[in-house]
Amino acid sequence: MSKLVVTGGQPLEGTVTVSGAKNAVLPIIAASLLTREPVQLDDVPELVDVNLMGEVIQALGAKVERSGSQLKIHVAEIANIEAPHDLVSQMRASIVIMGPLLAREGRVRISHPGGCAIGSRPINWHLKGLEALGADVRMDHGFLDVRGTLRGARIYLDFPSVGATENIMMAAVLAKGTTTLENAAQEPEIVDLANFLNEMGAKVRGAGTSIIRIDGVQELSGTSHTIIPDRIEAGSYILMAAATGGDVLVQNVISDHLNPMLAKMEEAGIPFREEDDGIRIFSEGHYRAVDIKTQVHPGFPTDLQAPFMALLSKGHGMGMVTETVFENRFMHVDELKRMGADIKIEGRVAIVQGVSKLTGAPVTAADLRAGAALILAALSAEGTSEISGVQHIDRGYEHIEEKITRIGGVIRRED
């Protein structure tokens, strides 16, 4: 098993370029199943999850070709409506193939994705939405068997789930009639998916607001599309620069997508400015503690909760971190405590009392964003840390050790 060996204490300096967004490209790869014409995607990050999604659609009949950051996908025929269990079990996000397969073929079989480290993560709202569009959902030997001819419907989501919004949008684009999705997720990745679908000839309006209207069309055509920058990767590097007292220009960002985090940085007294080609952080490494509460977009993103908590562990004073989106997303706390952080958990709230220094330690990343938090802590700690669980980090951070090395961080991978 690989680990990352990080020696802290070096302020990060230089320029880092953000890759295309993992959470935007995954549903867009799935949406390529909606057309028999070729699709070209640019700024596609090289990540384990992206490769897995490519393998899932290949198993369904897609031809997938990568050259550099470009992905060409062609699904002339759907050869198979069953997603292989071994792939789906490795990546929960593969459930977003349900909507497009159902829309194109009228049937999909997929093993129930089950839970993961950050909670039980049910998919009831995905299924409720597909049922409202006319699908019949059955459980059969651990597989979900979903079939039906779809027609537009009015759907109210009990919670603005990102995945459910995506699955329902992709199912509805080829349904007969109009679908109105209320209390929809408003994340930038939803807007990127809607733009991609519209470029294919779909009629999706209102993405980025809580009400999305979709007029079904008969068929969709091929297109080429550039994936939006990854706001979570950008946020992670911004916070690493802030924690190490660095001077870093983070390029390829859409700063509006980062507003909730930037507002909290301002409150904490961390200097940054928006420049023509990115966001520049010029931190002395001193900042005040602030409270954060994760919420759906445009609230503070749950995916930046762990890195922000790692930052707070060295802030001045006490900050409260409230996690409202996932039920079990504090796995990084015990690891941060091994590095000297002072954090107490009370239910969904973590109380972080800033300490003057963190010290390097062997730690384990239990999930992707916990991994980013531990790298941040290790970069700002005294001494050397060994971070295990790198397979989680590789799911969502492209070339992480190269990028951090280029801005002066001391990090290497050991197999």
Count residues near ligand UD1 (CB under 6 A).
20
Question: Is 34 one of the annotated active-site residues of the chain?
Answer: no
List 126, 332, 338, 395, residue binding ligand UD1 (CB under 6 A): 126
List 2, 15, 80, 124, residue binding ligand UD1 (CB under 6 A): 124
Lookup result for tokens 């938090």: 373
Considering only 40-48, 157-165, 192-200, 235-243, which stretch makes contact with ligand UD1 by CB under 6 A? Answer: 157-165
Q: How far is the CB of 337 from ligand UD1 (least distance, A)?
A: 23
Q: How far is the CB of 73 from ligand UD1 (least distance, A)?
A: 18
Give the C-alpha separation, 226 to 21, whole Å. 10
Nearer to ligand UD1, 287 or 326 (CB): 326
Lookup result for tokens 């700024």: 43
Nearest alpha-carbon partner for 248 in 226, 209, 277, 290:
277
Nearer to ligand UD1, 23 or 385 (CB): 23
For residue 235, give every residue at least 6 positions away whose Cβ sits within 8 Å of its Cβ, in sequence order, or none.
Answer: 258, 261, 301, 303, 304, 307
Q: How far is the CB of 285 from ligand UD1 (least distance, A)?
A: 28
- Gyration radius from the chain CA atoms: 21
List 97, 125, 243, 373, residue binding ligand UD1 (CB under 6 A): 125
List 4, 12, 20, 23, residue binding ligand UD1 (CB under 6 A): 23
Tell me: does residue 16 bind ligand UD1 (CB under 6 A): no
Considering only residues 252 to 311 of the shown chain, the ones binding ligand UD1 according to CB under 6 A are 302-303
Give the C-alpha separation, 279 to 269, whole Å. 16
Q: How far is the CB of 166 from ligand UD1 (least distance, A)?
A: 7
Query: What spatial distance separates the first Cα and last Cα of the chain, rounded to whole Å?
Result: 6
For residue 162, give every residue at least 6 positions away whose Cβ sits within 8 Å of its Cβ, in sequence order, or none.
Answer: 23, 185, 187, 189, 190
The C-alpha torsion from 222 through 43 and 296 to 208, rounded to 10°, is -40
List 107, 121, 151, 348, residue binding ligand UD1 (CB under 6 A): 121
Q: Is 351 exposed, middle or buried (0-12, 13-18, 19+ CB in 10 A)?
A: middle
List 2, 149, 159, 176, residue binding ligand UD1 (CB under 6 A): 159
Cite the beta strand spans of 99-200 per DSSP E: 107-111, 136-140, 143-147, 154-156, 178-182
Q: How far is the CB of 159 from ligand UD1 (least distance, A)?
A: 5
Tell me: does residue 115 bind ligand UD1 (CB under 6 A): no
Among the listed residues 5, 116, 254, 351, the single catalytic one is 116
Binding mask 316-355 for ligand UD1 (x = CB under 6 A): ---------xx-----------------------------
Give the C-alpha separation, 309 to 307, whole Å. 5
3-state secondary structure 32-97: HHHCCCCEEEECCCCCHHHHHHHHHHHHCCCEEEEECCEEEEECCCCCCCEECHHHHCCCHHHHHH
Nearer to ligand UD1, 238 or 358 (CB): 238
User: In the complex, which residues of this chain contact ligand UD1 (CB under 6 A)?
Assistant: 23, 26, 93, 119, 121-126, 159, 161-164, 189, 302-303, 325-326
**Hey, which residues are catalytic here?**
116
